[in-house]
Each structure stands twice: as structure tokens, then as C-alpha cells.
Amino acid sequence: MPDAAGASAASATTPTLILASASPRRRELLARLDVTPLRIAAADIDETPQAGELPRPHAARLARGKALALAADGAADRAHVLAGDTVVAVGRRILPKAEDADTAAACLRLLSGRRHRVFSAIALLSPDGTLRERISETQLRFKPLTDGEIAAYVASGEWKGKAGGYGIQGRAEALVAWMAGSHSGVIGLPLFETRALLKAAGFPLG
């Protein structure tokens, strides 16, 4: 039976994880990998797209920036930091995170009956400073939406703070006519890519 000092030393070397996101959806998805964050510490960075920035590199830059921002603040001492960002795009156009009903409705009208892409980027910063990154790309197409369907979805309030004005884990899933890619990525944390990064970093997984 290990003594208290041995147990303390073992605990000190057990890998821990900080989730750089206040999103309950990312926390729930992470739980599917049997990973519980030691702490949740949302990173506060400027998410404005740079001039001419394309959707994929934009998502990757934000995920990377969130992980590095926590490390710079000293919030990640001796812990792995997992950060993510999700971007909805129509062609080269990056759709905003809907903060009001008008923006949500405008996004849904744009997405109605057409194909769009969701980029879900993740970055894992290890205690030794190693930064690992992955990104998933999912293509989706909404059914042609009537004014009534758009109004009903906007009235639900599910769009609040969501990239592209919708969340696939809710009522919007019934509006998706076709999808190819990562369902968990569209929600906000691509599980296949996340598991691969954690395994590569030596984080214990089942």
C-alpha cells in the first residue's frame, strides 16, 4: 500500500487538462472520452477575422490563440490546455456568431437550401510547450427553409451565441437534409481529432 508521500507524488504526475472554453457542449462532448477537465477557463481573445482570412485558417488561428492565451496568463501551469473554435462558412464567407435575432434569421436565410461548411479546430498545448493541432471539416445542406420555419427556430432561442445562427444538437438538426463529416465537430468538439491529439500527447484514455 503506497504511503501518503507516494500517493501525492503519483497525483502530481497524473496528467491534467484545462478546457479553454465555457461551452457546456464541449464539456459534454469531452465527457464522452471519459475526460473531466481539472478546470474550465475560457480564453478572452479577439475573434474578429483578419482581412482576407479564409474560414479554415481563421478557425485554426482562434483555437491556437485561445490555448496560448491561457498559457501566457499562467493559468495552465503543469496542465494540458485544450482549446477549440468552430466556424460556419458559405464559400469564403465566415458567418458570425449570432448575438441577436436579426443576425440569426439572416444566417438561416443565407443557409436555406444551400450547402455550407463547418470547420471545427482544436489545439492542445502540453506542459512542455508542445502545441498539437487538428481540424475537422463537415459539409451540410439545409432544406429550403420557409419564413415560418426560420421564425420558429429564431423564437426557440437556440441560436444565441452559435456560429452561423444555429446549433445542430437542437431543433436545427431536423432542418439538415444532408451532412458529410463530423457531427461532434459541428456541435463544437470533433471527437475523433480530439482523441487523436490527447493520445499523441500521452494523455491517458480508455
Q: Which of 34, 44, 73, 85 is catalytic?
A: 85
3-state SS, residue 48: coil
CA distance 176 to 114: 10
Q: Which of 2, 32, 26, 40 is nearest to 163 (CA)?
A: 26
Burial 115-151 (b: 16+ CB within 10 A, else e): ebbbbbbbbbbbeeeeebbbbbbbebbbeebeeebbe
46 counts as catalytic: no
Strand partners, 93: 90
What is the residue whose three cell numbers read 434569421? 105
What positions carry a catalytic annotation? 85
